[in-house]
Structure 1
Amino acid sequence: MGVLQFIKDCQEKVFSGNGISSEDAKKLLNVPDGHLTDLARCANEITRDFNGDKVDVEQLNNIKKNACSEDCSFCGQSAFFDTGIETYQLPTPEEVISRAQKAKEEGAESYCLVAAWRGPSPKDFDKVCNIIKEINDKVGISVECSLGFLTMQQARKLKELKVKRYNHNLETAKSKFSEICTTHTYEDRLETLGIARDAGLELCTGGIIGLGETREQRLELALELARLCPEEVTINILVPVPGTPLELQTDLPKEEIIRIFSLIRFLLPESVIKISGGRETQMDDSGEELLQSGANGIITAGYLTMGGNEAKKDREMIEKIGLKA
């Protein structure tokens, strides 16, 4: 069987609802370079068939920055590394409401509250809950959260507050994880995802590519994501932060980025697949090609420790390629 026919046969398995096998996934990720455009095109057709032309646009609010107790080697917010990044504690509800309102006016469909800590203390969790209530009452935008490790009681409270989705990234493959973080385990992360799911929250999970992992480890991550079947997958492309252990990490070739986004679409045809940090600096088109290779979501207007495109520029980019913001 030729490579193009194999890709099309895998696409047909997805369309028929049967899905692809792990062996199919391995072969797809390793198609020859000359067939990468075929893989991307078929992934795009799956995206359009299952998700239409709409691009999910999200904005973040980093509500507590830096001094995190975890030693994730890519992260500029870890207390273990001297990165020179500004620190601050939880803002007032008024500050967050103002930014949430601006995000809504700029066309964001969801607003994610992110905090740099291992997990929220009871006092900080109460503050976050108050912020969520205020956003619900005064803005009316879909709220998502990324607050680290959760207890079941906390997860149920978030669900009660109508938080739609909980983000907790796996970061990388299980076989790579201990090289990236030593202060908690891969299993710790899976446990929090299980708690969020059991509490009735939708899941957002993914990771960072370009950490020095192999292609096989990216496949390992993709298959684990497929097993979890999250409503949203968020894939970051590493932007090396000075002062972290990965500050000299070599950029991942664009072709490798396209491969993994396309594969994840074959594995998760109905999920939002979101291009997160790094698209503006690691892709020469701010993500246009990825939005035509399996992705159907972006984070706009900046990330946790770095800026991003203005929301208006991203809307124009989406419309330019015939999609809807």
Structure 2
Amino acid sequence: MDTIRNDWSIQEIKDIYHQPVLELVYRAATVHRNWHKPDEVQVCTLLSIKTGGCTEDCAYCGQAARYHTGIRVKSLMSKEDVVAIAQRAKDAGSSRFCMAAAWREVRDNRDFETILEMVEGVNDLGLEVCCTLGMLTESQAGRLQEAGLYAYNHNLDSSKEYYKEIISTRTYDDRLNTLTHVRKAGITVCSGGIIGLGESHEDRIQMLHTLATLPKHPESVPVNALARVQGTPLADLPKIDSWEMVRMIATARILMPKSMVRLSAGRSEMTTEEQSWCFMAGANSIFTSESEELLVTPNPRLDDDRKMFDLLGLKPMVKEKVENSTL
């Protein structure tokens, strides 16, 4: 079985990434089968619990207050409403429930206390609970862990070199520091990036190198295609080619064989055939949503995902702590 390595060199990653795509997918599929059941895909539900009004200037994000995107700002949801949606998500086949708030950072206030109550409530349902709330301090991460948080999402987005081209309101090291706080608290790490931001292949390789050489690989690695939101600086960039997603997923699978590799944003613009190549390349997780949105961008309908699973012979992954359910 492939060994877990944290000492990958840039040249090694380049050699993997630039292989002919069929050879790359074959190699990634072989690694995937050594570590995971190839017919199982974890179904996750992502809910925006506080939408819009963020003070950051992430050039891709429709929730940044400084851009005119037409997205309606919504205040923090109630615990009761969130737990009810989590229950419906579980009934529909999800084993992980992710809560996202459009904040620059967590503040020690009443909203954070409500978040902690949400985490406890969703955890009581037997779901893996994930949050993405912006930057965290070590003490805040500890409190989330005590409340039952299973995972924390904080994407690197791109390479350290290209990061300043898309975000100026925080640094790359700020992101890495949050991942360190999450890891110290005993929470699993969910961290990946976005392709199609105008970055180079070298930037993608550098980002994968950063993730794959962390002291411990992220347990979850989302691979997102840029969701172009009108009103943001990146709205007019071209759609990323699906083969670029396949190449990125396959390389991530080879470098981090034990991790869940998540086919995340961008699925609404991919055909079933294009998504199937991503699964063959090692993706073993997708996001669903009641509202057919992934935060504020389009996401496939749950019925369409059911049909795709039936066609491809896939089934929802059932975690030990989660009761059996069907997609």
- TM-score, normalized by the shorter chain, greater than 0.5: yes
CA distance in 2: counterparts of 1:59 and 1:148, whole angstroms: 19
- Aligned-pair distance for 1:319? 3.6
Structure 1 residues 153-198: Cα deviation after superposition (integer angstroms, max 9, x where no partner): 1101111112111100011111100000000000000000000001
- Aligned-pair distance for 1:286? 6.2
Percent identical: 37
223, 229, 241: which one pairs with 1:253?
A: 241
Is the Cα–Cα contact under 8 Å of residues 239 and 282 in structure 1 kept in the other structure?
A: no
CA distance in 1: counterparts of 2:190 and 2:136, whole angstroms: 14
One-letter amino acid of the counterpart of residue 249, structure 2: F
Q: What is the aligned partner in structure 2 of residue 140 from structure 1?
A: 126
Structure 1 residues 241-272: Cα deviation after superposition (integer angstroms, max 9, x where no partner): 10000010112222222111111111000100
Q: What is the aligned partner in structure 2 of residue 93 from structure 1?
A: 79
Question: What does residue range 48-127 of structure 1 map to in structure 2 within 5 Å?
Answer: 48-53=33-38, 54-122=40-108, 123-127=110-114
Q: What is the aligned partner in structure 2 of residue 307 from structure 1?
A: 298
Q: What is the aligned partner in structure 1 of residue 325 from structure 2?
A: none
Is the Cα–Cα contact under 8 Å of residues 69 and 80 in structure 1 kept in the other structure?
A: yes
CA distance in 2: counterparts of 1:114 and 1:124, whole angstroms: 13
1:36 aligns with 2:21: yes
One-letter amino acid of the counterpart of residue 32, structure 2: T
Question: What does residue range 194-233 of structure 1 map to in structure 2 within 5 Å?
Answer: 194-228=180-214, 229-233=217-221
Q: What is the aligned partner in structure 1 of residue 138 from structure 2?
A: 152
CA distance in 1: counterparts of 2:222 and 2:123, whole angstroms: 24
CA distance in 2: counterparts of 1:217 and 1:112, whole angstroms: 27
Q: What is the aligned partner in structure 2 of residue 6 from structure 1?
A: none
Bigger proportion of residues as helix: 1
| Secondary structure of 2:212's aligned partner | helix
Instruction: Evaluate the alpha carbon distance shift between residue 282 and residue 173 of structure 1 in structure 2; reply closer, same or farther with a 3 A threshold.
Output: farther
- Aligned-pair distance for 1:121? 2.2
Comparing 18-27 with 254-263, greater Cα deviation is found at: 18-27
Aligned length: 308
Instruction: Evaluate the alpha carbon distance shift between residue 240 and residue 18 of structure 1 in structure 2; reply closer, same or farther with a 3 A threshold.
Output: closer
Structure 1 residues 54-77: Cα deviation after superposition (integer angstroms, max 9, x where no partner): 211100110000000100000000
Question: What does residue range 173-322 of structure 1 map to in structure 2 within 5 Å?
Answer: 173-228=159-214, 229-283=217-271, 285=273, 287-301=275-289, 302-322=293-313
Instruction: Evaluate the alpha carbon distance shift between residue 44 and residue 211 of structure 1 in structure 2; reply closer, same or farther with a 3 A threshold.
Output: same
- Aligned-pair distance for 1:208? 0.6
CA distance in 1: counterparts of 2:307 and 2:34, whole angstroms: 23
Gaps of 5+ in 1: 1-13
Is the Cα–Cα contact under 8 Å of residues 57 and 300 in structure 1 kept in the other structure?
A: yes
| Secondary structure of 1:171's aligned partner | coil
CA distance in 1: counterparts of 2:300 and 2:138, whole angstroms: 36
One-letter amino acid of the counterpart of residue 51, structure 1: H
TM-score by length of 2: 0.90
| Secondary structure of 1:289's aligned partner | helix
- Aligned-pair distance for 1:282? 4.3
Question: What does residue range 4-43 of structure 1 map to in structure 2 within 5 Å?
Answer: 15=2, 21-31=9-19, 35-43=20-28
One-letter amino acid of the counterpart of residue 167, structure 1: N
CA distance in 2: counterparts of 1:243 and 1:285, whole angstroms: 31
TM-score by length of 1: 0.90
Instruction: Evaluate the alpha carbon distance shift between residue 108 and residue 286 of structure 1 in structure 2; reply closer, same or farther with a 3 A threshold.
Output: farther
CA distance in 1: counterparts of 2:172 and 2:116, whole angstroms: 27
Query: Which aligned segments of 4 or more residues in structure 1 are displaced greater than 4 angstroms?
Result: 16-21
RMSD: 1.6
CA distance in 1: counterparts of 2:284 and 2:121, whole angstroms: 29
